[in-house]
Chain A
Amino acid sequence: MTPQFGVYLFAMSVVASAMGGTLGMAGGIFVVPMLTASGVGIRTAVGASIVSVIACSCGSASPFLRRRLTNTRLAIVLELATTLGALSGVFLADRLPTSALYVLFAGILLLSAQQMMARRKAPSDAGAVAGADADAGADAGGWGATFGLHASYPDPATGVEIPYTVHRVPLAMTLMYGAGLVSALLGIGSGVLKIPAMDTALRLPLKVSSATSNFMIGVTAAASAGAYFVRGDIVPAIAGPVVLGSVVGAILGARILVAVSSARIRVAFVVVLVLLAAQMSLQGFGVHLFGGHA
């Protein structure tokens, strides 16, 4: 690999990760299609992306932890499911044909586009506060109480403690198993599958949901990245520039997220996601628009 290609991978990863960060997503969903469009094989792209997902998760976990938005007890319980899913994904990755990975990735991109258009509601923000008393009885014997997962977080504006209860943990764990599996197969954070688990099943407040999901991504990805690493499936010359670019891009994306109104960006990125889905589908069927594999 030439140094010029390394610089290109770094720059491309900055853009891909910044796009993800601007939308509050992990960058892997943009990094992998952009790598495959650059001629990198999907398995090499997945290996590089999964390490960049860990780096971005670890780097951004710190401020959430300091602001006490992360429910670490809930995270470790859900990681039982995500790491098991990742373990399954690593074994499945060898047995699935490459074309299936491209098509699955295209499906996840379309699902992400659909989720982005629908906009995330915050039923749990209201439900967690107003419905806390009513829900307490319904969840009294559940996993939330058993493992001490119900908690509170300080409102960033007022500092007032806002209590919330954690619902339907077994259902969330089922979804999280799928998220871990897809993460290992495709080298992404799988936010597209975690969001329904966090919002619909657990009914967490959005801030807690985002912080806890981000905290879990690193451990989920470490299970599959560790396996790929010892197998020699992570190519240092590709993974190195991608990791550095992704960390820089995530920082830029987070700043853009704060500075820019998201409505117009959302529509633009939905178009990008649909185009990337079309590209991945074509590659799944053997049509390579941007050159061959590295």
Chain B
Amino acid sequence: MSERAPPDDAATRAVERWMASGLWWGTWIGCAVVAVGLALPRGTPVVVAGVGLFIALPILRVGVMLVDFARRRDLRMAAVAALVLTIILAAIALNLRAG
């Protein structure tokens, strides 16, 4: 296996800033959705949507990393990100069937 220099370029930083904003806003939107759901008389589906948003945030983050690695032809890291995404989705799919 060949040695790879640590990439720390402007593109990497831009993606990290993008992820930082996404996670930050996603957290506050999720909090707002849950709060609205709790305040409504029959707001349980809204709370469920807020919880679903929180769970989706890190999964989307792995998706963003996968696309970024693939775009830069960093195939080794793209494969790692794809495998992580597959494991998460497998955990959900297997329990969806079990449920």
A residues adjacent to B (C-beta < 8 A): 6, 51, 54-55, 57-59, 61-63, 65-66, 68, 70, 72-73, 76-77, 79-80, 83-84, 86-87, 90, 140-141, 145-152, 218-219, 221-232, 234, 236-237, 239-241, 243-244, 247
Contact = CB atoms under 8 A, between A and B. Distances in A.
Given A58-B57, A145-B3, A237-B44, A6 B38 contact: yes
> Which residue, of A66, A79, A87, A90, has the highest number of chain B Cβ atoms within 10 A?
A79
Interface in B66-99: 76-77, 80-81, 83-84, 87-88, 90-92, 94-96, 98-99
B41 to A, nearest CB: 11
Contacts of A223: 87-88, 91
Given A57-B58, A58-B26, A226-B95, 18 more contacts: A55-B54, A59-B23, A65-B16, A73-B6, A73-B77, A80-B83, A140-B3, A219-B59, A223-B91, A226-B55, A226-B88, A231-B95, A240-B37, A243-B30, A243-B31, A243-B50, A244-B35, A247-B31
Nearest to A47: B51
Contacts of B80: 76-77, 80, 147
Interface in B7-63: 7-8, 12-13, 16-17, 19-21, 23-24, 26-28, 30-31, 34-35, 37-38, 44, 47-48, 50-52, 54-59, 61-62
Contacts of A241: 38
Per DSSP, chain B at the interface is: helix
A51 B6 CA distance: 33
Contact of A54 (B35, B54, B83, B99): B54
B82 to A, nearest CB: 10
A226 B6 contact: no
Nearest to A89: B91
A274 B78 CA distance: 43
Interface residues on B, range: 35 or more
Contacts of B77: 73, 76, 147-148
A166 to B, nearest CB: 9
Given A62-B24, A147-B77, A151-B8, A226 B59 contact: yes
> Which residue, of A51, A224, A230, has the highest number of chain B Cβ atoms within 10 A?
A230
